[in-house]
Structure 1
Amino acid sequence: MIIENILGNIATIEKKAPHVERVYVESDALVKRIQRVVTDHGKEIGIRLKENKDLVDGDILYMDERNMIVIQVLADDILTICPTSIQQMGEIAHQLGNRHLPAQFEGDEMLVQYDYLVEDLLKQLEIPYRREERKVKQAFRHIGHSHD
């Protein structure tokens, strides 16, 4: 089976099939338009998306009246950074920006993929954080940039 279009997202559709198969992927696979995956029931699927659009947790790859196949993102090893002031947010944002480290924001929290050097930096700057396994809504996208 080759999937070329996303049919919707399980979080927003009204009519769901009674049986759900899941495709477990790591967050970095969400940016891949072409890939081969296997459902939790052993069914092999090719994904070749026509649109230049990232996959999202809960995306529906296939659905009929009895079955649906849904993307399920695995939890990432991340640092959840919780600055207590605009000063701390500015300091850590500047430091991470200099490293071109992708970040995501959820409420007052900054999320970055785990890196022991970043963890050491957070300790040095005395910025509150926690290391945790957490599911992110989208892939951490690295932005290409060079210092000329």
Structure 2
Amino acid sequence: MSAPALTARRVADHGHDAGAPTVSLDYEARFLRRKVLPLDDGRSVLVDLSQTTSLNHGDVLICEDGTEVRVAAAAEPLLAVTGDLVRLAWHIGNRHTPCQVEAERLLIRRDHVMRDMLGRLGATVEEVTAPFRPEGGAYGHGRTHGHDHSHAHGPEGHNHAHPHSHSHD
């Protein structure tokens, strides 16, 4: 990829240019601070944000020259979960697993441990490929994380002590 023609240092939750170029990113790739990304029009953009940011489907990168770049959720391997959705969502959430909630199904990233657990709970689990747009965190944060914590949590860190009384098994 050649040197990026664009540099984006800001993110907005909406844009004004209906014809803006798009960057399609899977869930993991939408968590970034600094990276060169290919655009659908063949150009590239250097994203250089002041802090690691969770980008959502529909967000807009604002480039230094005023160009807007729309962020789209790319299709990726997921598990579609059906059954008693309220009960299943509780178990998925109890494991801090990102989950896209729809009227007829739940979508989570493919994971054999979760698949086995959900099957034991009576869920029907099907492999699908689709854009993944999970719910954001309940406290205004863009992401919830599982216990692998493979991402930096910024200067405030992440207190993983669990003073509450639920199990993570």
Q: TM-score per shorter chain, which class?
A: 0.5 to 0.7
| Partner-residue secondary structure (3-state), 1:32 | strand
Equivalents in 2 of 1:5, 1:67: separation in Å?
Answer: 11
What TM-score, normalized by structure 1, do the two folds share? 0.68
Structure 1 residues 123-146: Cα deviation after superposition (integer angstroms, max 9, x where no partner): 344322332122122567334458
Q: CA deviation at 1:52?
A: 4.7
Alignment pair present for 1:16 and 2:17: yes
More helix by share: 1
Which of 91, 104, 111 is the matching residue for 1:93? 91
2:133 alignment counterpart: 137
Kindly provide the amino acid, as one letter, of the partner of residue 91 in structure 2. Answer: A
Equivalents in 1 of 2:44, 2:102: separation in Å?
Answer: 37
- How many residue pairs were aligned? 136
Alignment pair present for 1:3 and 2:8: yes
What TM-score, normalized by structure 2, do the two folds share? 0.61
For residues 39-118 of structure 1, the aligned pairs below 5 Å read 39-62=39-62, 68-84=68-84, 88-89=87-88, 93=91, 97=94, 100=95, 102-107=97-102, 109-118=105-114
CA distance change for structure 1 residues 29 and 121 in 2, over 3 Å: closer, same or farther?
Answer: same
Unpaired stretches in structure 2, ≥5 consecutive residues: 1-5, 135-142, 150-159, 163-169
Q: CA deviation at 1:51?
A: 4.8
Q: CA deviation at 1:102?
A: 1.5
**8 Å Cα contact 2:81/2:124 also seen in 1:** yes
**8 Å Cα contact 1:103/1:110 also seen in 2:** no
Which protein has greater RCO, CA pairs closer than 8 Å, 6+ apart?
1
Kindly provide the amino acid, as one letter, of the partner of residue 93 in structure 1. Answer: H
Q: CA deviation at 1:74?
A: 0.5
CA distance change for structure 1 residues 40 and 105 in 2, over 3 Å: closer, same or farther?
Answer: closer
